[in-house]
Structure 1
Amino acid sequence: MTNIKKVSELAGVSTATVSRALKNPELVTEQTREKVMKAVQKAGYRPNWLATSVKTGKSNSIVVLVPNLVNPFFMRIIEGIEQAAQEKGYSVLLGDTQGKASRENEYASMVLTNRADGLIQLDHSFPFSQNDAELAETVPMVSVCERIEGEKRYPFIELDNYAAGRALTHHLISYGHRSFGIIAGQLTSQIHHDRLAGIQSVFKEEGIEFDQSMLVGGSYRIETGIEGVQELLRREQRPTAIFCFNDDIAIGALYELKRHGLRIPDDISVTGFDNVKVSAYMDPPLTTVDQPAYEMGRRAVEVLIQQINRQPLQRTREILPFQLLERGSTGPVKS
């Protein structure tokens, strides 16, 4: 069996450095970590995590709760989680909860019964049952994208959704748009509140009145985009631009607008959010906000393992940067 000494020779570092890079990669430089991981792959080295697990009493597993596994945005986050977890010697247990509390409770209880060491939540709900809530107070847990409702004790990794909402609104107003529709996702989530607040803040600055009839939707599905367009087109004043709170919603919206014979962006502009891969290949390509989903996943693992190892966190809120990608689905308002 290939041993750690062979890896150290291939990487040109000491065996102690190899051990640090595998068990605590945050203690070595990125360049060193990359050299060690390449050497590990080349040598075919497999660290004996099982022996470590028996010695420490840890499972070396983490649970990731996903509200919808078919959502491509979540899959990008999971890719980052998987890579970072593998590098740190952890396996990942995926729980597709479908947004159901009973499923969340079942998967979350794995941490309480020592079948997993920590939990990453990709939804905004508190995943433990009322009976387990007191026990869960000391559970290592991180939320990604969303913030867990009513909880301030758990760290979270997120985007500045307020600023992203403002950026999208400024973009559309720069094209002369003054009449808007908004197709939202989960209305109770912090993401929804932050994005909507960003949009409304620019409306206020520009003297555009926010009318509740502008806001439709309620889930992050393609069907929500279809139904949302149908509802918005029934308004007395048809919007010239539509905000969609994720790219799946936008895909449904584009489909339904075309079905009504409307041209995009000539008749109506559409924006998405997330920058899933297919968004660049839509007809027309979708203007959207790019979230660093892979990096969010990686960072979530790093923060979670700090909690598992009872290391102090420098901060409980981490905000990652976004990028507004202007593509063909937005353009000047029709005169």
Structure 2
Amino acid sequence: MEPKPPAQRLKVIEALSLEMKKAKYVAGEVLPSEAALQQRLGVSRGTIRQALAELENRDLIYRIKGKGTFVRTRAESRPKPVVFLIREPWKVSHFHNAELLRGMQVAAAAAGANVIISSQTPGEWSAEFCNSIAGVMVLPRLLVDSDLLVLRQRAVPYCMAMESDLTGPSVVDHIEEAAYALADGLLQLGHRRIALLSGHFEHSDRYKKRGIGGALLKAGIDFKSCPDYCTNYDAGLAYEISQDILRSGNRPTAIIGFDNVLAIQAIRAAKNLGLHLPQDLSVVGFGGRDFGELMEPSLSTVNLRGEEAGRRVVEAMLGSNLSKMGKIEVGYDIAWRESSGVMASL
């Protein structure tokens, strides 16, 4: 929960808000100067400035340099935009990220707000920009806790798009549990040589690996014996790696792609090498609402509910109740399709 403003600042905010509500200051009217407010309310100049910044953040006033601070009309009051923070903007088109963004846009449009995509760290944002936004959906990749400190200091609501190592509210899709169930499903089909096409070693990928490792341990298999090929979600690299490992003498019987694009590249490589799914190889992925079921063979995958997550986070931000929610439970489901099964040789 965000801390309450100090008592003196709160006193100023409440006094001015009440006066605007009672129409002492009408829409479009310039407010008294900072010095005049300081003398009348008996607080410091810094407290006055902080209070005015908070009222501007609430969209109750606006400032024109050199002219003063004005009361905003009701017609002018509008929902602030929300930000989708993604340090690698070229990944916006990835299935899960695209679903998150689609859900954000649906909720924002319904409220008359906009969605802004930013690849800068919050430390690079100006105070004016922070005051102008309703909140931030954070994709954790390439961020550390100190990057989010400025958001906490400026009381900007934010929420991680998925479970991660960062501090703060987050979407909870139970990714470790999902990864465990996916790996366990392959083990139940008899697979013991399982390779990973992962993205990296951070955040949700670490949770996926932990879940897979738990399932392997239950089956008496050391996770370290499971080849892990990190691709940074590069489709071309995933295809090349898949070709190499499927040509090897001890090729895996199953491949887990850490998103559906990686899984699709494994299927593509298998087909080009003359392998048949699932008789020669099983492939599974992670993703959401995509064209996995339209493929040949249709792709077995964990469906992460990205669109629902994006929508609910933005609704919380625009409703000013994100701090009360803490975690937004979304969950997952697994679709077992034609790309996975018992190998002919098993």
What TM-score do the two structures reach when normalised by structure 1?
Answer: 0.72
Aligned ranges for residues 152-171 of structure 1 at < 5 Å? 152=167, 154-171=168-185
Cα gap change, 1:167/1:114 in structure 2, threshold over 3 Å: closer, same or farther? Answer: same
Q: Is residue 2:103 matched to residue 1:72?
A: no
Q: Is residue 2:338 matched to residue 1:328?
A: yes
The one-letter amino acid of 2:189's match is: Y
The one-letter amino acid of 2:277's match is: I
Q: C-alpha deviations, 1:22-55, integer Å up to 9, x for none?
A: xxxxxxxxxxxxxxxxxxxxxxxxxxxx844855
Q: Is residue 2:293 matched to residue 1:280?
A: yes
Moved more, 273-282 or 164-173: 273-282
- The CA distance in 2 between the partners of 1:109 and 1:224, in whole Å, is 37
Moved more, 120-129 or 210-219: 120-129
Q: Which residue of 2 aligns with 1:215?
A: 228
Aligned equivalent of 1:181, options 195, 215, 227: 195
The structure that has the greater radius of gyration is 2
Q: Which residue of 2 aligns with 1:266?
A: 279
- The CA distance in 2 between the partners of 1:69 and 1:265, in whole Å, is 31
Q: How many residues align?
A: 270
Q: Which residue of 2 aligns with 1:82?
A: 105
The one-letter amino acid of 2:84's match is: V
Aligned ranges for residues 72-151 of structure 1 at < 5 Å? 72-95=95-118, 97=119, 103-105=120-122, 108-109=125-126, 112-126=129-143, 133-134=149-150, 136-137=152-153, 138-147=155-164, 149=165, 151=166
Aligned equivalent of 1:195, options 208, 215, 219: 208
- The CA distance in 2 between the partners of 1:240 and 1:110, in whole Å, is 54
The one-letter amino acid of 2:106's match is: Q
Alpha carbon RMSD of aligned pairs, Å? 2.8
Fraction of identical pairs, as percent = 25
**Distance apart, 1:134 and its partner CA:** 4.3
The one-letter amino acid of 1:91's match is: N
- The CA distance in 2 between the partners of 1:107 and 1:84, in whole Å, is 27
**Distance apart, 1:302 and its partner CA:** 2.5
CA contact (8 A) 2:304 2:332 kept: yes
Q: Which residue of 2 aligns with 1:249?
A: 262
Q: C-alpha deviations, 1:288-335, integer Å up to 9, x for none?
A: 0111111101111133235xx3x4744422332211101110010232
Q: Which residue of 2 aligns with 1:40?
A: none
Q: C-alpha deviations, 1:120-154, integer Å up to 9, x for none?
A: 11333438986x9446532211121253x4x32x2
- The CA distance in 2 between the partners of 1:51 and 1:107, in whole Å, is 31
- The CA distance in 2 between the partners of 1:208 and 1:269, in whole Å, is 18
Q: Which residue of 1 aligns with 2:80?
A: 60
Moved more, 72-81 or 120-129: 120-129
Q: Which residue of 2 aligns with 1:25?
A: none
CA contact (8 A) 1:104 1:127 kept: no
The one-letter amino acid of 1:330's match is: S
- The CA distance in 1 between the partners of 2:235 and 2:326, in whole Å, is 33
Structure 1's unaligned 5+ residue stretches are 1-49, 98-102
Aligned equivalent of 1:319, options 329, 338, 343: 329
CA contact (8 A) 2:303 2:334 kept: yes
Q: C-alpha deviations, 1:239-289, integer Å up to 9, x for none?
A: 100111000101111111112221111111000111342211222110001
CA contact (8 A) 2:194 2:226 kept: no
What TM-score do the two structures reach when normalised by structure 2?
Answer: 0.69
**Distance apart, 1:89 and its partner CA:** 3.2
CA contact (8 A) 2:245 2:252 kept: yes
